[in-house]
Amino acid sequence: FAWLQNFRRLVTRYEVKVENFLGFLHLGCILILLRQF
């Protein structure tokens, strides 16, 4: 969860719908994993 602190949009939840928030959460996790390779 500490790595997700770099994504401002995920730290403060601006989205009203849960689906949008989960989409950005998945996108952030994918970007973190891609940086590892």
Q: Check: CB of residue 10 under 8 Å from CB of residue 2.
A: no
Number of structural domains (the chain) is 1
> Which distant-in-sequence residues (6+ apart) come within 8 Å of 29 by Cβ?
4
pLDDT in tens, 1-37: 677 777 777 777 777 888 888 888 888 899 888 988 7
Q: Check: CB of residue 21 under 8 Å from CB of residue 29.
A: no
Domain, as residue range, for 16: 1-36
pTM score, whole prediction: 0.71
Predicted local distance difference test score (pLDDT) of residue 1 = 66
